[in-house]
Structure 1
Amino acid sequence: MNVHITNIYGFIQDQDLRKKQNQFADAAHALGFMEMGIFNFDVSTDTENELSKRIDGIISSLQFNDLVFVQLPTGNGEHYDNLLINKIKAYNAKVCILLHEQIEYDYILNSADLIMPTSNELNAYLKEHNYTNVFYKKSINYEFNSNCSGLLSSDFYIKKYLIDAVDQLSQPVLDEQNENIIHIGFGLHDKTGHYSVWVGTAMQSIIDHTDSRVCFHILHDDTLSNENKRKLGQVANRVGDNVEFYLISNEVLENVKSQMSRYTIGAMFRCMLPELLPHLEKIIYLDADVYVNRDILELWNVDVNDYCLAAVKDEGTHDNSYSNILNKYTDFPKEKYFNSGVLVMNLKNIKARGNLMDMVIGFLDENLESNLPDQDALNILFEDSTKLIDTTWNRFVSYLRYEEKEKTVMNDYVYHFAASFPVLYSECKVDIEYYKTMCRTPWSDYETGNQIIRSVESLNDRISQFEKMLPRLSESGVKHIFYGHETKLLKKLYEYITLSENDYRVLKNPDYSFEDILPCKSLGALKQEEGPIIIYVLCESDNNTAIKNLEELGFENGKDFFVVQRIVSFYYGGFA
């Protein structure tokens, strides 16, 4: 942790204020503090953007979790001082205000971690106005000298004053053992720079629905930019919550990257929580793409004393969309397979079984066919120690869009977009509420417009797919062939098409039961087709190799075959 102190320069009418700040800065320099120089000028000549950039330059040496002594007033006015404090706080830095003159900046004074008056008069003023964050040490009688413009009586006492404040503020902001603090973990891999907003929006939704204090633990790699790190800190700091960052080395997960090709490697970071947080007994882990529409305290209070995990059954198991791993572990009951996007983790019980990351990597080394890597591992490893909790804690938005009764209401759910996106032309209320919450995060300027563009592009793509399908559909005697299991999505597509007795499904390994509508043949059957055919493919079929398999057989995407998710409405599971 670095310690900084502000100091004023330039043409200053109030020479007494300059003298006070310079003397404190000189004492701080002797203690090794870093200086943030502030030039006095007519701030009204700056636009908001120019002023913001000017202050960014002043705090350019600031790192996350540093300590800053801000000497107030700066002489540049309340708006300037307010912006300065907010920018410093956005770095999760602790702010100690050295107050040299009486100011009526209630917001600024209340937002400080500590206020240190430099005269008896200011000390009395702060107490009279009931500020609760005024520095006070019962065992030390600091001497204020009225003969020296209200400064502490000597350089020795100034240094002592600063040192004691540093000692007090160096203590952890949150006591990890405090049962009144909820601990929540996220994994974050942000190679495009546009994934952090999902974590920030999830955090904002949590804060909006709880009165409890929260400490967010964000596990990230070197893809997280300083700007996004600052914004994540800003989300929590607005209401006095805390955020801690943990940098994960790229080498740690090098040997499982190939299995994570479809998923963000950040999902694996949750497996490091037990080792990174040795003093915590439990934590809530959440995927970034959740919207928490209820008090997270209720989830925190779930009793996991006798378990390693608490989780919600994966909704995909209702729809034959279960993981490939269950074809190997046939004794594992499908009704117990859980989604790992919302977990209560008993870190103490998990550590008693060994190093979680080592166990997960060992599992993946032995199960290369796993298509939901970390989720599969957690299910199999903790089958005997997972408490299944109410489904309201992890509801898939893509499934709720099917249900008319769910579209226009917001229920007490944790909504999980689960690889989907909010849809701005949706009738589903959670999409709009998610967008509204995103608009209140520090990413609103760019990301909210980006979501509008993405939604329009999605509509245009669906129209384009239909335009390409028309020539093939109009051919005489065209046969319909479907690539995949008979999921709810595929059955919805059946409703749009007049099926004939010659239509069928394909898979590498045919899967057919008496309940199926269409028979299933081997993928090789496509080679025997001579007449006009049109293929509808579920992109996740055959362990996400379906499109590649068709292209290797000589079929062209957008001409011979079409991805079901690109033509069926998002209400029924199509791409958003």
Structure 2
Amino acid sequence: MNVHITNIYGFIHDQNLRKKQNLYADAAHALGFKEMGIFNFDVSTDTENELSKRIDGIISSLQFNDLVFVQLPTGNGEHYDNLLINKIKAYNTKVCILLHETIEYEYVLNAADLIMPTNNEVHAYLKEHNYSNVFYKKNINYEFGLYSNSSNIISSDFYIKKYLIDAQDQLEESVLNEQDDDIIHIGFGLHDKTGHYSVWVGTVMQSILEHTDSRICFHILHDETLSIDNKYKLEKVARSGSSIIEFHKIDENDFSVVKNQMSRFTIGTMFRRSLPELLPNLNRIIYLDADLFVNRDIKELWDVDICEYCLAGVADEGVDIHNYPKILNKYPGIKKESYFNAGVLYMNLKKLREFGNLKKLVVDFLVENPEAGLPDQDALNVIFHNKVLYLDGSWNRFVFMHRKDNVEKLDKAIFHYAAALLMLYSHSQIDLEYFRTICRTPWIDYEMYHQFEQCFDRMNDRVYQYQNMLCLLSDSDVKHVFYGEENKKLKTLYSRIHLKDGDYRVLEYAKNMESDILPCKDLSVLKDEKSPIIIFVNWESDDCSAIQNLEELGFKNGKDFFVVERFFSFFDGGFM
């Protein structure tokens, strides 16, 4: 479905009318509307056949079931405007009239699906004549003009866009029955502080729509950080697949008590806790993180029977490779093999409501367990232990595992980037397919160049790190100090650097094990170190405070110490 807007050109006596229409058309262009240009001329010189052909040319880009915003009056008279609306309606379109001046065109005003007044005078006229199809915006004071001190109700580009989008929402209001089993409901949490998070949600949606024939209802749980432009682009993705999208405003303050615990993550992940109460008439929903790529028909997951379970998810395949979830030390009854990743969750909302208030359960858990390293995910694992249906691993497969296996063909799976970044230089199929999918979204103009730039920057940074450390490494007197526990990354580094007598490890508080290759000392010994040293640091050490700790001791990043993940390849656990 395409959205169009008319715009007048030519020698127009009423320059104020032209400026108004141009203003609305410019805002619509930014939202991706297609323009239908209308030239102002003396229609009395045209025969009926000639006039009909002119209008056919104007609407030549129109397709069945499109949506058209017609700006009236055109300046070409009632007969012309009547014919224009009549021909547009013949395509089974929905017509929204942007009415800039009072007109007494009975056919035109009654034929429109929606009439949008753009000033107080027009609004008063429509109200007086009791037109039932007028778009009365609740938060606009039509009598006094809330958005402007002038007679115009809406004057700024921002509010014009909002006005157009809200009208479009009303015209395409969901008529789906939430309990219709043919409709798949999918939810996302969206906190978009930088304005660059919406594209990831949009890309997941795009990947879903390209792999299913089912009808989808997307539920976007968002706060005030979602911009008008990004909201429209998300709507455009949904409608490109003839699906429905619904936006649900979440008050971020509802989670203020745990905001500090979520500082390493997006607060948007907490929004899903509101789903059971937010959608009281819905019995189930698939919740997805924004860093996913869906390469299979999501209906296969929707068809899984979860009647007896609160949640369905996949055991976290990163637990054996990355840090062991610390929460399991406090709850030993939960085995690491049953610790699930919350990036893909099939939620039985009916069962969850019977269990209790999900939002309160999670918040209370986090208040009582401030040591939870993966806050909301830890909470779900503990609260719903033994109430989870474990899905096949293909429903939540980590991208780094796919890259490690270096498979040539992309499996039918949901791929989870899980803090990994898109790497165009990896030659892996998942990155190539993900990038192609981004390029099919409304964000293509920015993202195509942004992703190339990001990838080159990361490659250049790796070269820069090597250049800076080479001089130090070539010094025969330099001592190697490693900050962190002896995990796979550090042991790999040992094999690449010629270890010498006197090399050691540090942690804020030393921990030594019999199997350790290098001895570990308290971090404070670095204050008194007299020998020339080069420090290699695993950024996750000491609860991710390692870099900060070294900087507080006066060491400089990229000069005195080097972050292992910045110069390691992704195969060895480095940054992407």
TM-score computed with the length of structure 2 as normaliser: 0.73
- One-letter code aligned to 2:440: R
| Counterpart for residue 239 of structure 1 | 241
- What are the equivalent positions in structure 2 for 1:430-441 lying under 5 Å apart? 430-441=430-441
The answer to whether residue 555 in structure 2 is matched with residue 558 in structure 1 is no
Q: Distance in 2 between matches of 1:535 and 1:9?
A: 67
Moved more, 420-429 or 239-248: 420-429
Q: Helix, strand or coil: the match of 1:211?
A: coil
Q: 1:88–1:318: structure 2 CA closer, same or farther, 3 Å change rule?
A: farther
Structure 1 residue 503: deviation in Å?
Answer: 3.7
| Counterpart for residue 341 of structure 1 | 343
Preserved CA contact (<8 Å) 1:210 1:295: yes
Q: Distance in 2 between matches of 1:493 and 1:196?
A: 37
The answer to whether residue 26 in structure 2 is matched with residue 53 in structure 1 is yes
Q: Distance in 1 between matches of 2:386 and 2:239?
A: 39
Q: Distance in 2 between matches of 1:174 and 1:87?
A: 23
- Where do 5+ consecutive residues of structure 2 fail to align? 34-53, 71-80, 97-105, 108-112, 114-129, 136-169
- One-letter code aligned to 1:535: I
Q: Distance in 2 between matches of 1:291 and 1:513?
A: 41
| Counterpart for residue 474 of structure 2 | 474
Q: 1:82–1:384: structure 2 CA closer, same or farther, 3 Å change rule?
A: same
Q: 1:178–1:550: structure 2 CA closer, same or farther, 3 Å change rule?
A: same
Q: 1:80–1:510: structure 2 CA closer, same or farther, 3 Å change rule?
A: same
- What are the equivalent positions in structure 2 for 1:369-518 lying under 5 Å apart? 369-404=371-406, 406=407, 408-500=408-500, 502-510=502-510, 517-518=517-518
Preserved CA contact (<8 Å) 2:6 2:25: no
- What are the equivalent positions in structure 2 for 1:3-42 lying under 5 Å apart? none
| Counterpart for residue 139 of structure 2 | none
Q: 1:462–1:7: structure 2 CA closer, same or farther, 3 Å change rule?
A: closer
- One-letter code aligned to 1:232: L
Structure 1 residue 331: deviation in Å?
Answer: 3.2
Preserved CA contact (<8 Å) 1:321 1:487: no
Preserved CA contact (<8 Å) 1:184 1:286: yes
Structure 1 residue 492: deviation in Å?
Answer: 3.4
- What are the equivalent positions in structure 2 for 1:178-327 lying under 5 Å apart? 178-327=180-329
Q: Distance in 1 between matches of 2:316 and 2:342?
A: 8
Q: Helix, strand or coil: the match of 1:214?
A: strand
| Counterpart for residue 32 of structure 1 | none
Moved more, 460-469 or 504-513: 504-513
Q: Distance in 2 between matches of 1:457 and 1:58?
A: 31
- One-letter code aligned to 2:393: T
Structure 1 residue 389: deviation in Å?
Answer: 1.5
Q: 1:208–1:507: structure 2 CA closer, same or farther, 3 Å change rule?
A: same
Structure 1 residue 500: deviation in Å?
Answer: 4.2
The answer to whether residue 534 in structure 2 is matched with residue 534 in structure 1 is yes
Preserved CA contact (<8 Å) 2:62 2:91: no
Q: Helix, strand or coil: the match of 1:384?
A: coil
Q: Distance in 1 between matches of 2:30 and 2:539?
A: 49
Q: Distance in 2 between matches of 1:345 and 1:231?
A: 27
- One-letter code aligned to 1:335: E
CA offsets 1:279-312 (integer angstroms, 9 cap, x no match): 1111111110100011111111222211111111
The answer to whether residue 544 in structure 2 is matched with residue 544 in structure 1 is yes
Q: Distance in 1 between matches of 2:183 and 2:196?
A: 29
Q: 1:541–1:88: structure 2 CA closer, same or farther, 3 Å change rule?
A: farther
Q: Helix, strand or coil: the match of 1:266?
A: helix
Q: Helix, strand or coil: the match of 1:467?
A: helix
Number of equivalences? 480
Moved more, 286-295 or 545-554: 545-554
| Counterpart for residue 59 of structure 2 | 78
CA offsets 1:139-166 (integer angstroms, 9 cap, x no match): xxxxxxxxxxxxxxxxxxx979999xxx
Q: 1:55–1:316: structure 2 CA closer, same or farther, 3 Å change rule?
A: closer
Q: Helix, strand or coil: the match of 2:412?
A: coil
Preserved CA contact (<8 Å) 1:538 1:564: yes
TM-score computed with the length of structure 1 as normaliser: 0.73
| Counterpart for residue 572 of structure 2 | 572
Preserved CA contact (<8 Å) 1:214 1:241: yes
Q: 1:86–1:489: structure 2 CA closer, same or farther, 3 Å change rule?
A: farther
Q: Distance in 2 between matches of 1:302 and 1:58?
A: 38
Q: Distance in 2 between matches of 1:289 and 1:296?
A: 16
Preserved CA contact (<8 Å) 1:59 1:88: no
Q: 1:58–1:502: structure 2 CA closer, same or farther, 3 Å change rule?
A: closer
Q: Helix, strand or coil: the match of 2:404?
A: coil
Moved more, 274-283 or 313-322: 313-322
| Counterpart for residue 109 of structure 1 | 91
Structure 1 residue 429: deviation in Å?
Answer: 1.4
Preserved CA contact (<8 Å) 1:213 1:241: yes
Q: 1:447–1:387: structure 2 CA closer, same or farther, 3 Å change rule?
A: same
Moved more, 324-333 or 383-392: 324-333
| Counterpart for residue 94 of structure 1 | none
Q: Helix, strand or coil: the match of 2:441?
A: coil
Identity %, equivalent residues: 49
| Counterpart for residue 132 of structure 1 | none
- One-letter code aligned to 1:472: L
CA offsets 1:384-428 (integer angstroms, 9 cap, x no match): 211221111111112322223x2x321112111112221112211
Preserved CA contact (<8 Å) 1:535 1:560: yes
Q: Helix, strand or coil: the match of 1:363?
A: helix
Q: Distance in 1 between matches of 2:264 and 2:410?
A: 30
CA offsets 1:191-223 (integer angstroms, 9 cap, x no match): 111110000000000001111111110000100
- One-letter code aligned to 1:274: P
Q: Distance in 2 between matches of 1:355 and 1:533?
A: 54
Q: Helix, strand or coil: the match of 1:231?
A: helix
- What are the equivalent positions in structure 2 for 1:86-105 lying under 5 Å apart? none
Q: Distance in 2 between matches of 1:6 and 1:523?
A: 65
Q: Distance in 2 between matches of 1:7 and 1:38?
A: 13
| Counterpart for residue 152 of structure 2 | none
CA offsets 1:27-59 (integer angstroms, 9 cap, x no match): xxxxxxxxxx9979xx9xx9xxx9952755999
Preserved CA contact (<8 Å) 1:215 1:241: yes
- One-letter code aligned to 1:53: D
- One-letter code aligned to 1:538: N
Structure 1 residue 7: deviation in Å?
Answer: 10
| Counterpart for residue 367 of structure 1 | 369
Q: Distance in 1 between matches of 2:573 and 2:55?
A: 57
Preserved CA contact (<8 Å) 1:280 1:347: yes
